[in-house]
Amino acid sequence: MTLYSPKEIYLDNAATTSMRQEVLDEMMPYFTENYGNPSSLYSIAQIARDAVDGSRENVAKILNCKPSEIIFTSGGTESDNMAIIGVAKALKEMGGHIITTKIEHHAVIHAMEELESIGFRISYLNVDEAGLINLDELESEISNDTSLVSIMFANNETGVIQDLPKISQIVKRRAKNLQKEIYIHSDAVQASGKLDLDTKKLGIDLMSLSGHKIRGPKGVGCLYLKRGIPIAPIIVGGGQERQRRSGTENVPGIVGFSKALTLANEEKDKFNVHCKKLVDILKLKLQNLEYPHIIVTPDKNSLSNILNVCFKGFEGEPILIGLDMKGIFASSGSACSSASLEPSHVLVSMGIDPKLAVGSIRFSFSLDNTSEEVDVLIESLKNVLSELHILTQT
């Protein structure tokens, strides 16, 4: 039997996704005939304004919030920065302490480091071997000067899902006992299209989303900001987005983001069933590999489409290059810096030996992937590991 071999196999959907045709079709008129500036008064500008307002309403329905609580941004990184730095600065006099985790995306970690450099105190919560925070540790870290807690919904490297409703209950209970307000932010960039984004059920006050993770455009996203929460803008100028985020609105991007989020939310059950099947097949086939490895992504409390695997005795980058040469695209949690290969901070935080963590590969699936592609991946992986093993022995 001839092995199915497509020209390319894309297994890095947690990094970015291809744009859906329906999304592009929705965007196109706002690049051409409906190109007006939403802040202007004439008719084509009002068409653009209506498109932005309609998109805001669509996003608000999915998040179960008010349209006025949606701020459109340039993506997940800006949304995270805005939530963390903006709220922290606005509440500095009320408390300079913020709580986050050791496994956050760098958009959060670097924002925290920026705040530390100007005098804020940051607590970084540990995670267990399953990638989950300790709820007792969270509760013990909350103090009189805590103003913000930022904990991601689902991890971008391992897919591990944090229990936001329980986290919210703990934070709100402690805040009540301390007779103060403590706000909860979550980076939900990876969760969109896979999990329920109902902000009321989650019990959170701020949430970051991005368009290009859900087959929408790059360079656009949003921040949910619960009404009444003070925030200092990090981009100033024309006063758009109710004075919270200046700059002429990216109308085509906003329209595309809204459409992509709507479609992803409608299809999330289908997506989860399909991707879990592929991940399960991959897990099963990995058992037949002769090279030692561990599967990092846990069977429970994780996204349906992400599988992180560490290959003992190998580094992630050469594996990725080998797969790339065979037309297969995945990613590594490790970052190449100078002449050294640094292990993923997420995996190290989970207690994985750094020497093993440098050999991590993340496979992330979409509805476009097939079981035949998993077969090709396994055969290609066997060949790549075999070739690398021979090289290391010479």
CA angle 302, 307, 312 (to 5 degrees): 125
Separation of CA 91 from chain center: 26
DSSP 197: -
- The answer to whether position 117 is within a domain reads yes
Residue 56 lies in a domain: yes
Q: Which residues are catalytic?
A: 336
d(Cα 69, Cα 27) in Å, to the nearest integer? 23
Q: What is the mean pLDDT of the chain?
A: 94
Amino acid letter, 3:
L
Cβ within 8 Å of residue 177, ≥6 positions away:
none
The 8-class DSSP code of residue 139 comes to: H
pLDDT tens digit sequence for 100-109: 999 999 999 9
pLDDT tens-digit readout, 284-296: 999 989 899 999 9
- Residue 34's φ and ψ, nearest 5 degrees, are -105, 55
Distance between CA atoms of residues 168 and 185, nearest Å: 10
Residue at a domain's end among 250, 266, 282: 266
On whether both 120 and 32 belong to a single domain, the answer is yes
Rounded to two decimals, what is the model's pTM? 0.94
Residue 1 lies in a domain: no
Instruction: Provide the residue range defining the domain that includes 69.
Output: 21-266
Q: How confident is the model at residue 394 (pLDDT cuts 50, 70, 90)?
A: low
- Residue 333: CATH number of its domain: 3.90.1150.10
Answer yes or no: is 359 within a domain.
yes
Share of the chain above pLDDT 90, in %: 89
At residue 6, does pLDDT exceed 80? Answer: no
Q: What is the distance between the alpha carbons of residues 248 and 175, in angstroms, rounded to a whole number?
A: 37
Average pLDDT over residues 146-172: 98
